[in-house]
Structure 1
Amino acid sequence: MPFAAWRAVLPAWIDVQPVELPGHGHRSDEPLQVDMPSLAATLADELASLIDGPYLMLGHSVGGVVALEVAHALVARGLEAPSALITVASTAPSQRAGNPQAQPMSDAELFAELQRLDGTPQVVLDDPELLAMVLPVLRADFLLGERHRPSCREPLPCALHVFGGRDDSIAVGALAAWEMECTGPFRMEMCAGGHFFLHRQRADFLRRLVTLAKAYRPSLASSFLARAGLSHA
């Protein structure tokens, strides 16, 4: 869980709470999720008891959509929306295909996509046994994003900060389209690097993140990070 490592370098007043999805990491004994509403409901139920004040919610790639859906699910449960939603290298929901009948990628298709995104360690790509372990998880993550069809609803009542990679394949317009998802102030920043710039250029990204978070201090109580693995945009 890469986000957990941020705790060692971020200021102590930022309480990082990484979110592990069912079927991932220490939750590997749980079924993988490919239905966004069901996943959002599960995560909202788990996070509800942890929210005791203002918080930020961050998601990378399809995790940005997961974060949005979880935030809506929390609001539906009577909880406050996050002070800000932060999406990183994530295509806006309105710019996604949203095909409920999308089929899982073959091993060859998935392998090619992982190579293109350049975020999976080469040692994993070169090891058939490791690949056999991670491909089902990553395949589900891709399917989660491909099958999700956005709902018609009111925008989330919070600020929205979008980070994009200058070398990522996501079009600037697909990042800017996030603006319609929230009613608060909108800001977009472009960072050096590709789809995984938040890890490859971690120091620069975390510096930007701290600057952003300071705008919500001292009211900020906690910061939740929602992600969906190494999924595509």
Structure 2
Amino acid sequence: MSETATDPVGPTTGTGWLRQFHHADADAPRLVCFPHAGGSASFYFPLSAALAPGAEVLAVQYPGRQDRRGEPCVDSIPTLADAVVGELRQWQDRPLALFGHSMGSSLAFEVARRLEAEGDGPTALIVSGRRSPRMIRDEGIHRADDEVLIAHLARLSGTDARILGDPELLELILPAMRADYRAAETYRYTPGPPLRCSLSVLTGDDDPQLTSAEARDWATHTTGAYALTVLPGGHFYLASQWSRVAELIRERLG
């Protein structure tokens, strides 16, 4: 499944920051999912379907896209994290785990830190396709012109090629893309206590955005259990193997 500007949100409940696509068992573990740069909540529809009804999946919807297209984009990871934490306070009637892909991993990490600081941290943090927070690499994509940004998106194969070739659709998605890349590339880790929850890292074996050293460095950010899993594919390896990703997440939730 490729992310597009016109992806339907699908059958869903929730407003504001969180979307829920499928019903779950009353005692199911709760998983909050954070999209990549330029991504939307609907990216996680296949994962929600694969995990239901054994897990309740909540997908974060950033401002400036899909049903929040009329809202201004947010170009700061700390600002996004503060807003999501405020929303999650309504969902802490049972334990929750966090999952993020690419930029969403950085955001999920910062949300986990804030939740732990408040005394009600997640049971697990699962990150995908993203270097550890203290490994800085500013590629300057958010400062580049539209042609460079579009070429970068094409190389990652996470955006439908038909969208990248349609000027009208590009006009819709580029503001959110640029804001998200600014948030991701300007994010700087502030040293602090490591997390106490388990931390799992997923990555594609042919991901140009992530080295093995950058993936392994996540181990320094938790005192809990740590695991690294490498799957075949590039930066968006998960889009072609949601069932395998769901299986791994199910193990972590268990």
What band does the TM-score fall into relative to the shorter chain? Answer: 0.7 to 0.9
Alignment deviations for residues 59-78 of structure 1 (CA, whole Å, 9 cap, x no partner) = 000110000111122233x2
Deviation of the 1:187 alpha carbon: 0.3
Greater relative contact order, per chain length (Cα 8 Å cut-off, separation 6+): 1
1:104-143 matches, within 5 Å, as: 104-143=143-182
Query: What is the percent sequence identity of the aligned residues?
Result: 33
TM-score (norm 1): 0.85
Structure 2 counterpart SS, 1:179 = helix
Deviation of the 1:104 alpha carbon: 2.6
Tell me which amino acid in the other structure corresponds to 2:114: A
Tell me which amino acid in the other structure corresponds to 1:42: A
Residue 145 of structure 1 is matched in structure 2 by: 184
Deviation of the 1:180 alpha carbon: 1.3
Pick closer, same or farther for the CA change 1:2–1:113 going to 2, 3 Å: same
Aligned residue pairs total: 212
Deviation of the 1:51 alpha carbon: 1.5
Runs of 4 or more above 6 Å deviation = none
Aligned to 2:199, which of 160, 175, 178? 160
Structure 2 counterpart SS, 1:95 = coil
Residue 13 of structure 1 is matched in structure 2 by: 54
Pick closer, same or farther for the CA change 1:12–1:105 going to 2, 3 Å: same
Pick closer, same or farther for the CA change 1:16–1:168 going to 2, 3 Å: same
Structure 1: any 5+ residue segments left out of the alignment?
Answer: 215-233
Is it true that 1:86 corresponds to 2:126 in the alignment?
A: yes
Tell me which amino acid in the other structure corresponds to 2:172: M
Query: What CA RMSD, in Å, does the superposition of the two structures yield over aligned residues?
Result: 1.8
Contact 1:67–1:85 (8 Å) recurs in 2: yes
Moved more, 200-209 or 64-73: 200-209
Structure 1 counterpart SS, 2:143 = coil
Aligned to 2:240, which of 200, 204, 213? 200
TM-score (norm 2): 0.78
Cα distance in 2 for partners of 1:167, 1:98 equals 20
Cα distance in 1 for partners of 2:77, 2:123 equals 22
Cα distance in 1 for partners of 2:161, 2:149 equals 15
Residue 227 of structure 1 is matched in structure 2 by: none
Contact 1:165–1:197 (8 Å) recurs in 2: yes
Tell me which amino acid in the other structure corresponds to 2:145: S
Structure 2: any 5+ residue segments left out of the alignment?
Answer: 1-41
Cα distance in 2 for partners of 1:8, 1:155 equals 32
Cα distance in 1 for partners of 2:232, 2:166 equals 30
Contact 2:85–2:114 (8 Å) recurs in 1: yes
Contact 2:47–2:242 (8 Å) recurs in 1: no
Contact 1:114–1:120 (8 Å) recurs in 2: yes
Residue 222 of structure 1 is matched in structure 2 by: none
